[in-house]
């Protein structure tokens, strides 16, 4: 790895900047929008337990592997994989990891921006006091009006995509670091405030119970696959986003420690979001299986009844917009970096091109909530297909290939040097965690799905 490669895209100013930016990538709609509704749909506690196990046994090792490959390669995922495969005397076809990654990033970005658009819209709606004293029916009606209006959603989706392209066009250090520095702490404090409110809502015991006490009769093989897929989604793993950020990491950073910090922050935020939302669900007799619209129906209700609700809800949705923004940036970055490296495009031109293409595809997701609601493939809408294909298939597949490559095909010297492993024992532990447990975990999860079918 040479400093020249790094000079192509820029570099983080230090360890903290990387941890913040990677946390900015990890913490987003996945934690606050997706995790609660998936836990709700899949029976609560058992889903959460499987999710936590997947974070620890599969996600964390792969996170460490991704950062390591990224720093070693110093380029976008396709080129990093090609370069590292060559350097270790392996076949160049390992770069397929990078190609899957670009595809997955692009697909996720397309629907991510639509949901982020809902959040932007909710920031403004909160600010004008629409949710003051709102009832459960009122909150559903307000959401229903947005979901039914494709044109309005398109406007918000467009705004969000432009925001994303704008930051990426400016480049990594200036664009990304600033955003991440203060956002995470403030978001964290606000979530704690909301959990505090949830404790007074009358549904806390039931909500906490639902989320934290596993009832294995409620989880299916499909639920287990979903929990694992979501571990990848939430940690931003499997498509090379973290590999991409790893490319901008200075050589003296301790990768393992950084990986642990990022995974912990991400997990805490998801659990807090669950603890803020489910008490409100139960206190108001809502259905935990509501699906992707869950937070848009429950949070306004909580804010509507809370003292200072207008202030808190506006702040919350603005922060969630920013969290989604810092995640979307990491989705577009691998595609942009690839275009810059291989097509000699300027960052700005590449960002605009990728954003426009993903914007266009996002229209399919918008229509899934209104005009195309009935248009399904195997019972899934356009949005659900895009989500399933990426979260449940491409990310676990990409992540497994990353783990297998790092553990079995990368040379021992490279691993030990990058991770600072000094003993045979440390190296063996790395090999077991990344080369055996993580891939085997993914396999076991997929096999559990077969039980469902048979
Ligand atoms: N992790 C982000 C979230 O939870 C979404 C995300 C950003 C992502 N970059 C990614 C998911 C890369 C998978 C891969 O909202």
Q: Tell the residue nearest (CA) to atom 10 of ligand 1.
A: 236
Q: Which atom of ligand 1 is nearest to the CA of 391?
A: 13
- The DSSP result for 65-129, as a single string, is HHHHHHHHH-S-HHHHHHHHHHHTT--GGGGHHHHHHHHHHHHHHHHHHHHHHHHHHHHHHHHTT
Q: Tell the residue nearest (CA) to atom 8 of ligand 1.
A: 236
Q: Does the pLDDT at position 451 exceed 90? A: no
Measured from CB, residues less than 6 Å from any atom of ligand 1 are 25-26, 28-31, 108, 233-234, 236, 239, 241, 327, 330-331, 395
**Structural contact between residues 304 and 223, judged by C-beta atoms closer than 8 angstroms:** no
Q: Identify the DSSP state of 205.
A: H
Q: Which atom of ligand 1 is nearest to the CA of 324?
A: 15
Structure tokens at 138: 């009122």
Residue 103 has a pLDDT of 96
What's the rounded mean pLDDT across residues 403-429? 95
Q: Does the pLDDT at position 26 exceed 80? A: yes
**Structural contact between residues 250 and 11, judged by C-beta atoms closer than 8 angstroms:** yes
Q: How far is the CA of 236 from the centre of ligand 1 (A)?
A: 4
- Which pLDDT tens digit goes with each residue over 231-242? 999 999 999 999
Where residue 168 falls among pLDDT bands split at 50, 70, 90? confident
What's the rounded mean pLDDT across residues 28-48? 96
**Percent of the chain topping pLDDT 90:** 75
Q: Does the pLDDT at position 43 exceed 60? A: yes
- Which pLDDT tens digit goes with each residue over 73-97? 999 999 999 999 999 999 999 999 9
Where residue 7 falls among pLDDT bands split at 50, 70, 90? very low
- Which pLDDT tens digit goes with each residue over 123-144? 999 999 999 999 989 999 999 9
Q: Tell the residue nearest (CA) to atom 7 of ligand 1.
A: 327
d(CA 233, CA 34): 10
Residue 10 has a pLDDT of 63
Pocket-testing residue among 62, 324, 331, 336, ligand 1, by greatest number of atoms within 8 A of Cβ: 331
Pocket-testing residue among 108, 109, 180, 354, ligand 1, by greatest number of atoms within 8 A of Cβ: 108
Where residue 163 falls among pLDDT bands split at 50, 70, 90? very high
Q: Does the pLDDT at position 180 exceed 80? A: no
Q: Tell the residue nearest (CA) to atom 14 of ligand 1.
A: 236
Q: How far is the CA of 428 from the centre of ligand 1 (A)?
A: 30
Which backbone phi and psi does 380 adopt, to 5 degrees?
-110, 140
3-state helix vs strand vs coil in the chain, percent to 5? 80, 0, 20
Residue 59 has a pLDDT of 98
d(CA 17, CA 19): 6
d(CA 129, CA 146): 16
Where residue 8 falls among pLDDT bands split at 50, 70, 90? low
Q: Tell the residue nearest (CA) to atom 13 of ligand 1.
A: 236
Q: How far is the CA of 62 from the centre of ligand 1 (A)?
A: 14
What's the rounded mean pLDDT across residues 36-49? 96
Q: How far is the CA of 140 from the centre of ligand 1 (A)?
A: 27
The dihedral sign for the CA sequence 19, 21, 22, 23: positive
Q: How many CA atoms lie within 13 A of 299 on its CB side?
A: 31
Q: For residue 233, what are the CA distances in angstroms to 29, 105, 215, 237, 238? A: 10, 11, 24, 6, 8
Q: Does the pLDDT at position 295 exceed 70? A: yes
d(CA 314, CA 138): 18
Lowest mean pLDDT among 33-37, 218-222, 247-251: 247-251
Interior CA angle at 273 toward 268 and 275, to 5°?
95
Which residue, 102, 178, 91, 93, is CA-closest to 341?
102
d(CA 317, CA 295): 11
- Which pLDDT tens digit goes with each residue over 308-340? 889 888 988 998 998 999 899 999 999 999 999
Pocket-testing residue among 114, 240, 272, 330, ligand 1, by greatest number of atoms within 8 A of Cβ: 330
Report the chain's mean pLDDT, rounded to a whole number.
91
Q: How far is the CA of 423 from the centre of ligand 1 (A)?
A: 34
Q: Which atom of ligand 1 is nearest to the CA of 33?
A: 15
Q: Tell the residue nearest (CA) to atom 12 of ligand 1.
A: 236
**Percent of the chain topping pLDDT 70:** 94
- The distance of Cα 273 from the centroid of its chain, to the nearest Å, equals 14
């Amino acid at each position: 790895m040479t400093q020249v490669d790094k000079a192509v895209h820029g570099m983080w100013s230090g360890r903290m900047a990387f941890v913040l930016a990677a946390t900015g990538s990890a913490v987003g709609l996945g934690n606050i929008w997706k995790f609660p509704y998936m836990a709700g749909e899949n029976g609560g506690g058992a889903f959460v337990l499987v999710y936590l196990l997947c974070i620890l046994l599969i996600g964390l090792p792969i996170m460490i592997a991704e950062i390591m490959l990224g720093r070693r390669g110093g380029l976008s995922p396709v080129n990093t994989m090609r370069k590292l495969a060559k350097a270790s005397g392996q076949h160049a076809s390992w770069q397929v990891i990078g190609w899957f990654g670009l595809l997955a990033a692009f697909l996720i970005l397309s629907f991510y921006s639509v949901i982020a658009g809902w959040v932007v819209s909710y920031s403004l709606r909160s600010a004008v006091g629409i949710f003051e004293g709102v009832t459960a029916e009122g909150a559903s009606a307000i959401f229903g009006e947005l979901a039914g209006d494709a044109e309005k959603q398109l406007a918000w989706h467009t705004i969000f995509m432009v925001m994303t392209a704008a930051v990426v066009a400016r480049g990594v250090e200036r664009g990304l670091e600033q955003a991440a520095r203060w956002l995470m702490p403030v978001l964290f404090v606000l979530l704690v405030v909301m959990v505090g409110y949830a404790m007074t809502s009358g549904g806390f015991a039931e909500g906490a119970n639902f989320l934290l006490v596993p009832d294995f009769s409620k989880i299916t093989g499909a639920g287990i696959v979903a929990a694992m897929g979501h571990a990848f989604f939430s940690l931003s793993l499997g498509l090379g986003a973290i590999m991409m950020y790893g490319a901008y990491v200075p050589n003296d950073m301790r990768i393992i420690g950084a990986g642990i910090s990022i995974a912990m922050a991400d997990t805490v935020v998801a659990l807090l979001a669950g603890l803020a939302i489910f008490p409100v669900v139960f206190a108001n007799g809502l259905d935990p299986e509501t699906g992707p619209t869950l937070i848009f129906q429950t949070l306004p209700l909580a804010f509507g009844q809370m003292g200072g609700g207008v202030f808190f809800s506006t702040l919350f949705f603005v922060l969630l917009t920013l969290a989604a923004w810092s995640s979307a940036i990491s989705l577009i970055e691998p595609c942009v970096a690839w275009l810059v490296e291989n097509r000699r495009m300027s960052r700005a031109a590449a960002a605009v091109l990728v954003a426009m293409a993903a914007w266009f595809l996002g229209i399919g997701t918008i229509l899934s909530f209104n005009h195309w609601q009935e248009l399904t493939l195997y019972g899934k809408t356009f949005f659900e297909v895009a989500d399933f294909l990426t979260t449940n298939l491409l990310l676990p597949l990409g992540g497994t290939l990353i783990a297998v490559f790092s553990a079995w095909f990368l040379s021992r010297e490279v691993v030990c040097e990058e991770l600072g492993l000094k003993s045979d024992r440390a190296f063996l532990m790395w090999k077991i965690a990344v080369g055996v447990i993580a891939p085997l975990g993914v396999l076991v999860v997929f096999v559990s799905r077969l039980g469902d079918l048979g």
